[in-house]
Structure 1
Amino acid sequence: MSPPETRTKPSQTLLRQTCPAGRISRSITTRDDVEILDISNYIPFFLSSINNALSRGASAIYREQFGIGITEWRAISMLAIEPEITAARICEVVNLDKAAASRALATLDQMGYLGSVKSEKDPRKRRWWLNDKGYELHASIIRIALAREETLIEGVDPHDLEAGIRAMRVMMKNVRNM
């Protein structure tokens, strides 16, 4: 299959599609009768781009300072919120896949940050918690995470921020139906 022909000045038209509530749901640009996304108005692009940049930056900092990455931090933060939980529960709340959660817990366990107990019903399953060393690590990282959050939201009107958080909560519920 040969690549599409490249034109020096494509004709572009911006189309707006409206969802039932009347809000503009996305922008589509057409170029030579081909619909393409206008990423300047496409919500999944923004969410993905922001998340990728945040995760990459956080992972670099946490690896350099503490020897762990963002996946381990997500597991640590969940274990601080809900001690004595399974890997499956971590996956459910922070949307990690099971293999990533298991690797993160194994890494943290090897590093001496966790305690665990096998399930009596299924010895393959464990309940995990942070030990004292794990809580010390959590205390160090949470200060960095909160400072990064402050930088992220700097300049955002508090009312806009609250509206954005409400919208993201609805999107979290909706994504489970996709």
Structure 2
Amino acid sequence: MSEKTGTPRKAPPREPEGQGLTLDLDRYVPAFITFIANKLSNSATAFYQRNFGVNVTEWRIMSLLAIEPGIPASRICSVIGFDKGPVSRTLALMKGRGLIAIRNDPEDGRSHSISLTAKGRATHDKVIVAALERERRLLACLDKNEQEVLIALLRRIHDNLDAVTGAS
């Protein structure tokens, strides 16, 4: 691993010694995405918990509810890519802390409408400033054009996830 970046160093080319194929972690995109996501999530949870009393999962839900007030839990699961169980547990904790309100959907009695409370919105409005600053610092190594290219490429990869997830 590189001490500066925490990414694997490129090993000199060699023949595998009876172990079969190995990944080149300097080029294997799923590993890069996972390593980046894990490090960003872990540091975000520590930072947001320390400064705002929310973890990164709660922040993701809050940010989505600010964009789409009144959505059901199924929509939250779909957008952020989490299973129903962890999302339900997180929503229950957030409701208990007064960050969200959960109401029966008047159009579908089996579904619930989830919204930020005034306290949840106030917390969101504090966290978003820090989140955008963290993003700015992360992308500071890229010029504006490179940032736009990165976003476009990530969007294309995201749109192509069905090719490996089996989702329809």
- What range describes the TM-score normalised by the shorter chain of this pair? 0.7 to 0.9
Once the 2 structures are TM-superposed, how far is the Cα of residue 54 of structure 1 from its aligned partner?
A: 0.6
Pick from 53, 59, 69 the counterpart of residue 67 of structure 1: 53
Compare the two structures and name the one with the higher strand fraction: 1
Q: Which runs of 5+ in 2 are unaligned?
A: 1-11
Counting only pairs closer than 5 Å after superposition, residues 38-57 of structure 1 correspond to structure 2 as: 38-57=24-43
Q: For 2:22 and 2:144, how far apart are their aligned partners in 1?
A: 34
Q: Residue type of the partner of 1:43?
A: V
**What's the % identity of the aligned pairs?**
34
Cα displacement string for residues 17-76 of structure 1 (whole angstroms, at most 9, x for unaligned residues): xxxxxxxxxxxxx52252111111111111111110110001011222232211111110
- Asked if 1:31 corresponds to 2:16, the answer is yes
- Asked if 1:103 corresponds to 2:89, the answer is yes
> TM-score scaled by structure 2?
0.83
Compare the two structures and name the one with the higher helix fraction: 2
After superposition, the CA RMSD in angstroms is 1.8
| 1:154 alignment counterpart | 140
Residues 83 and 128 in structure 1, CA contact (< 8 A), matched pair in contact too: yes
> TM-score scaled by structure 1?
0.79
State the structure with bigger RCO (CA 8 A, min sep 6), 1 or 2.
Answer: 2
Between Structure 1 and Structure 2, whose CA radius of gyration is higher? 1
Count of matched residue pairs: 152
Q: Which runs of 5+ in 1 are unaligned?
A: 1-10, 14-29
Q: For 1:162 and 1:68, how far apart are their aligned partners in 2?
A: 30
